[in-house]
Amino acid sequence: MAVAQASCPNCGAPLEFGLGSSWARVCDYCRHTVVRTDRGLQNMGQAAALANTPSLVAVGDEGVLGGRPFRVFGRVQLDHGAGPWDEYYLGLDYGQSWGFLAYAQGEWYATALTAAVPVPAHQQLQLEQDLLLGAAGPFRVTEIKSARVVATEGEVPSGTREGMLRLYADCWGRGRGFATLDYGETGAAAALFLGYVLSEAELSITQIGPRTAQKVKTQQLTCPNCGGDVPKLSGERSQRLGCPYCGAVSDIALRTVVAQQERLQQATAIPVGSRGTIAGAEYLCIAYVRRGASFEGEAYRWEEYLLFSPGIGFRWLVKDPETGWSWVTPVNLAELDLRLATSRVSYQGRWYGLRNRNNARVEYVLGEVFWKCEVGETTEVSDYVHGRDVLSRESHGSREVRWSASSPVPWPVVARAFNLPLDGPGAPILVSSAGDSGGGQSSSALWIVLVIVAFVLLACAVEYCDDDADGNGSSGGGVRYGGGVFSGGK
């Protein structure tokens, strides 16, 4: 039920405010922004055009969030320079309260406005800084950035207007705790939005709101560089596309090319578009990313395969030329002991010692990725090891930090999961006693032994590597994408 009804001062169309916390509304008919004041409605002019960002949610949708019913009343589109993303303004519990729902970095975040607590000013924050957020307890800073409100849709709460600069910091708490400190434009005092990170299985959405024509048809992505149609693999969840036809990397929402690269010539170990079952869950390989670094003047490269499962989210399989394959899962940095981080860190009762620090560079992208990936993008990486298990810290300067954990997986486990040949591109390179690779009797015998050992360990290895997480292919020529070889542009 609407809390206020009127006519749009620009076009005369009926206008409703569904939440008492709403300050402004964009007219559905003329897209003028109308503001509620103590003197009535005021026309603030035409709203900016919205970018067609990937999203599973639309204004007007209804659903259940962690057991609480909600309705989507508005959308705020923000940009911190790399491209827009959306935050959705929700009425919770049939309009009794309100909050925000956002999707970023492959995770869903739900927050609601909470009584403010004393926190440092925006310019005084540091990554991984510990903050006590009142009764919610300790949180740790994971992102410190600013973004501009570039467009709005439907209703928005007080303090949100197009063109404003928003200074903010995101923080993680133990379990799945999440908080955003919204400093507005001043950076001095912060509004506190508390909530949690949720899985897609905890979010039920009934699609009621209108979708654009592009999102309705939506089984293909079109490369803006060559015009080739590429099968959409992750629904409305990805930000960038590496085209298998021409190699260009493009922004999916803006439909603009952000980097040029040659079409990948060699076959990938796991074909993009193939499906595999790991620890009982089906994953779709949606991207291949090659990264590199320099160690003591020598170039070093490895391959990363991005997997997606609707009920679980994103995971990585990484192929390292020296250590083999590993299974990578995200780590909540609030659950790490970082007191001795210059030399070691503790996680889940185990200490990991620092192995190396370096800068990792993205060299190639194929398929869909969930962040604003760019060829040449560089991150600072620190690896901490415990036996063959690794904790990795990746940061973008002083703005953002992420942690992940990886455990080794034998190649036969990966091959069996994705129905790949054991001697395919993902197989380890075995060196015989004569020094050749892969052709001698010594090499063949060693390969047979390794395969037998790997299959003996198959069940326990797969289960172990996915403890934290809760297709067909061929080694033939060309780049394979979901079982079909792309051999040229359109």
Kindly indicate the confidence band of residue 456, based on its pLDDT and cuts at 50, 70 and 90.
very low
* pLDDT at 39 exceeding the cut of 80: no
Same domain? 301 vs 375: yes
Average pLDDT over the chain reads 84
Same domain? 12 vs 116: no
Domain end residue (candidates: 206, 241, 265): 206
> How does pLDDT run across 134-168, given as a tens digit for each residue?
999 999 999 999 999 999 999 999 888 899 999 99
> How does pLDDT run across 199-209, given as a tens digit for each residue?
888 888 898 88
Residue 55 lies in a domain: no
**Angle at the Cα of 286 (from 285 to 287), degrees rounded to 5?**
105
* pLDDT at 33 exceeding the cut of 70: yes
pLDDT average, residue stretch 42-64: 88
Tokens encoding 21: 């916390």
Same domain? 11 vs 112: no
Domain of residue 149: give its range. 62-206
Question: Are β-strands 324-331 and 97-104 bridged in parallel, bridged antiparallel, or unpaired?
Answer: unpaired
Same domain? 332 vs 478: yes
CATH code where residue 16 lies: 2.20.28
* pLDDT at 453 exceeding the cut of 60: no
Whole-number percent of the chain with pLDDT over 70: 86
Domain end residue (candidates: 206, 231, 256): 206
Same domain? 320 vs 457: yes
How high is the pLDDT of residue 239? Answer: 83
Same domain? 246 vs 147: no
Same domain? 127 vs 251: no
Please give the span between the terminal C-alpha atoms of the chain, in angstroms, as a whole number: 51
Residue 450 CB burial class (10 angstroms; 0-12, 13-18, ≥19): middle
Same domain? 276 vs 376: yes
3-state secondary structure of 70: strand
Q: Which residues contact 429 (CB under 8 A, 6 or more apart)?
A: 321, 437, 438
How high is the pLDDT of residue 485? Answer: 36
Same domain? 198 vs 333: no
With b for 16 or more beta-carbon neighbours within 10 A and e for fewer, the 302-334 pattern comes to bbbbbbbbeebbbbbbbbbeeebbbbbbbbbbb
* pLDDT at 265 exceeding the cut of 60: yes
Residue 213 lies in a domain: no
Which uninterrupted H or E stretch holds 307? Answer: strand 298-309
How high is the pLDDT of residue 219? Answer: 76
* Angle, helix 441-456 to helix 458-465, in steps of 10 degrees: 70
> How does pLDDT run across 93-104, given as a tens digit for each residue?
888 889 999 987
Same domain? 446 vs 404: yes
Residue 52 lies in a domain: no
Residue 175 lies in a domain: yes
Kindly indicate the confidence band of residue 358, based on its pLDDT and cuts at 50, 70 and 90.
very high
* pLDDT at 440 exceeding the cut of 70: no
> How does pLDDT run across 287-312, given as a tens digit for each residue?
999 999 987 788 889 999 999 988 78
> How does pLDDT run across 373-390, given as a tens digit for each residue?
889 899 999 999 999 999
How high is the pLDDT of residue 235? Answer: 78
Domain end residue (candidates: 206, 237, 261): 206
How many domains in the chain?
A: 3
